Amino acid sequence: MILKKPYAFLIKNFKIIHIIIFLLALYVNNYYIKISSFFRNYSSNNFYDYNIAKDYLPIFSFIAIILLISFISIMLYLMNKKKKPIKLYIFSIIYYVTLLISMLFIYNVINTLYEATLTQKLSRFYRDIFFILNLPHYYFLVMYLIRGIGFDIKKFNFSKDLQELEINAEDNEEFEFVLGTEGYLVKRKIHRLYREIIYYYKENKFLINIVLGSILSIVLITVFINTSINLHKYHVGSSLSADKFTYKLNNAYVTSYDYKNKLINNQNKYLILDMTITNKNKNILKPEEMYIIYGNNQESIYKTSLANSFSDLGTVYIGDLIPNQATNLLFIYELPNNAKTTNLKLMVYKGYEYKNGVRNNLYREYKFSASNLDKDLKITNLNMGDTFTLGKTLYGNTNLKITNMEIKNKYEYTYQKCSNENNCETLTDIILPDNRNQNELLIVDYEINIDENSLLARSTNNKDQNIINKFSKINYTINKNDKTTTIYGKTYSNLKNKIFFDIPNNVSSKADKKNFIIKTRENEYSFSIN
């Protein structure tokens, strides 16, 4: 293998290299102007263009400036070796390294606009700083263009400078190392190859280091940019700030049933988004500002008409004013039964831009899949006094205990009524079914511990009656006919831990079996009524 020192090649291509430097500098300058323009629009027009940072500073802009620094460094090495003026190249390297650092910084700043907006003062500061930083760029552009075309001026006679570089025998010196197979042992060939490579590296250490450093820099910046972009791909658990609101997608569920396990619609299913939203001002979240894309780019806007059907999961947004503090809300979307609930997209309005005089709305995108809540539940038979959970996934650590049950036509009780500490009287009250001719009372004694952080607690205001009513049923058999009925109970302030249900009056006298049922979306429990 015959290798040559690179100096003669660099001298012969002196002008071409400077033209390449000029073009790379021009390319970098174009994106730096875009950065300055972004902050000028942001500060002066209050215009929020939320294009991601890679649209302003693509990976090629970073590769270009690294190559630019590399080529300038090579010319610095050549000019220094030939004892020619090097100030232009030294100052160029310092300047473009500074630009590279500033580009990395501003890339991160633009990306942070997904979480928080800039103040007008800070945006104007960035505008001025990057405008000033870009001014020396034009000087270097002119200088490298002059060197590239070989234009002679009084102080910079670069054609003459090029001639004085004088390619000599040393610059074009050849050296040889041989890779052969005849007459040499493998070990000897490897050692010789290693020595020749080391000699060549030491002779051209600076140039080789520039090339290797450039490759490493490109790799590191590529990793940085890709990592930064991935940080702003929003999924379940991610937070973002956009336009009038800040958002966080906590969970996503899909079901065809309401909280009483009743089929809502035999043609559709329902996507439930558990979100935490903060209002930046006094704004109403319009349906078109937060919609779902599913299947083949089909869209669905949130519904407000089914709020009660999913009240066991939280508070459903019904189009009212969202508070200016973090608020947990549910958003309901109707989808066809055949729609896939994986790889869904939640589009959140973030602002707008004008292109060719046309206003285009811009959106940020959550990518997620929904968990299916519709599962076949196995009935668990419990005894009085057994403690059970409603379901930890949806209802947190809320647990319930049934301590006693009885069926009566009426319930009579006494209680104390006090006007002050020294003046109390004993009163008697009677609780009756709403329709005494058709119903009787199922009286259930209970103990309940409510997880105050659960969505259920928030949507029911921590009221025992509201929570138990969501999941209560009665199952009974009369003449071999099995029937399950949804029931709703009442609680009374004078009676703690008791709830009264109206049930058909033939249950106690004619039913062969009768069971009190607690059925949630996660669990089903049965208690025999004696």
pLDDT in tens, the chain (530 residues): 444 555 566 667 778 888 888 888 888 888 777 777 777 766 554 444 444 545 667 777 888 888 888 888 888 877 777 777 888 888 888 888 888 888 888 777 776 664 455 666 777 777 778 778 888 888 888 888 887 777 544 444 445 555 555 555 555 555 454 544 444 455 665 666 556 666 655 666 665 566 666 566 655 655 554 444 444 568 888 888 777 888 999 999 999 999 888 899 999 999 999 999 999 888 889 888 999 999 888 999 998 888 889 988 888 998 888 988 889 999 999 999 999 999 899 999 888 877 777 888 888 889 999 999 998 888 999 999 999 999 888 888 899 999 999 999 999 999 888 888 788 888 899 999 988 889 999 999 999 998 888 878 777 765 778 889 889 999 999 988 999 999 999 998 889 899 999 999 888 888 889 999 999 999 999 999 97
Contact 351, 48 (CB under 8 A): yes
Closest by CA position to 256, among listed 87, 129, 373 = 373
Q: What is the rounded distance in angstroms from the CA atom of residue 193 to the CA atom of residue 178?
A: 8
Q: Verify that 182 and 291 share a domain, yes or no.
A: no
Contact 413, 428 (CB under 8 A): yes
User: What pLDDT does 15 receive?
Assistant: 80
CB atoms near residue 89 (< 10 Å): 22
Q: What is the CA radius of gyration of the chain?
A: 38
Residue 121 DSSP class: H
Provide the domain limits for residue 430. Answer: 379-528
Residue 302 DSSP class: E
Q: Verify that 122 and 13 share a domain, yes or no.
A: yes
Q: Verify that 53 and 143 share a domain, yes or no.
A: yes
Let me know how long the chain is: 530
Q: Strand, coil or helix: what is 275? A: strand
Q: Verify that 388 and 291 share a domain, yes or no.
A: no
Sequence-separated (6 or more) residues with CB below 8 Å from residue 308: 258, 316
Domains in the chain, number = 3
CB atoms near residue 124 (< 10 Å): 16
Q: Verify that 143 and 222 share a domain, yes or no.
A: yes
End of a domain among 372, 394, 421?
A: 372
Closest by CA position to 527, among listed 511, 513, 516, 518 = 516
End-to-end CA distance of the chain: 99
End of a domain among 186, 209, 231?
A: 231
Q: Verify that 282 and 221 share a domain, yes or no.
A: no
- Lookup: tokens for 71: 């080529």
Q: Verify that 132 and 222 share a domain, yes or no.
A: yes
Sequence-separated (6 or more) residues with CB below 8 Å from residue 79: 85, 86, 89
Q: Verify that 150 and 177 share a domain, yes or no.
A: yes
Cβ contacts of 127-131, under 8 Å, gap ≥ 24? 127/36, 127/39, 127/40, 127/42, 127/43, 130/32, 130/35, 130/36, 130/39, 130/102, 130/106, 131/36
Alpha-carbon torsion (46, 51, 54, 56), positive or negative = negative
Q: Verify that 260 and 393 share a domain, yes or no.
A: no
Helix axes 14-44, 59-81, angle to 10 degrees: 140
Whether the pTM exceeds 0.75: the reply is no
Q: Verify that 227 and 149 share a domain, yes or no.
A: yes
Q: Strand, coil or helix: what is 71? A: helix
Closest by CA position to 147, among listed 161, 132, 164 = 161
- Lookup: tokens for 504: 């058909």
- Lookup: tokens for 314: 């939280």
- Lookup: tokens for 92: 């160029």
- CATH number for the domain harbouring residue 274: 2.60.40.1240
Q: What is the rounded distance in angstroms from the CA atom of residue 300 to the CA atom of residue 308?
A: 20
User: What pLDDT does 119 receive?
Assistant: 65
User: What pLDDT does 113 receive?
Assistant: 60
Please spell the DSSP secondary structure of 395-457, one letter per residue.
Answer: HTT-EEEEEEEEEES-EEEEEEEEEETTEEEEEEEEE--SSTTTEEEEEEEEEEE--TTSHHH
Q: What is the rounded distance in angstroms from the CA atom of residue 111 to the CA atom of residue 41?
A: 17
User: What pLDDT does 49 receive?
Assistant: 43
End of a domain among 231, 252, 285?
A: 231
Q: Verify that 367 and 293 share a domain, yes or no.
A: yes
Q: Residue 266 is inside which H or E element, if any?
A: none
Contact 82, 42 (CB under 8 A): no
Q: What is the rounded distance in angstroms from the CA atom of residue 193 to the CA atom of residue 404?
A: 91
Please spell the DSSP secondary structure of 149-181, one letter per residue.
Answer: HT-B-SS-BHHHHHHHT---TTTT-EEE-----
Q: Residue 76 is inside which H or E element, if any?
A: helix 59-81
Q: Verify that 36 and 86 share a domain, yes or no.
A: yes
Closest by CA position to 210, among listed 8, 4, 98, 66 = 66
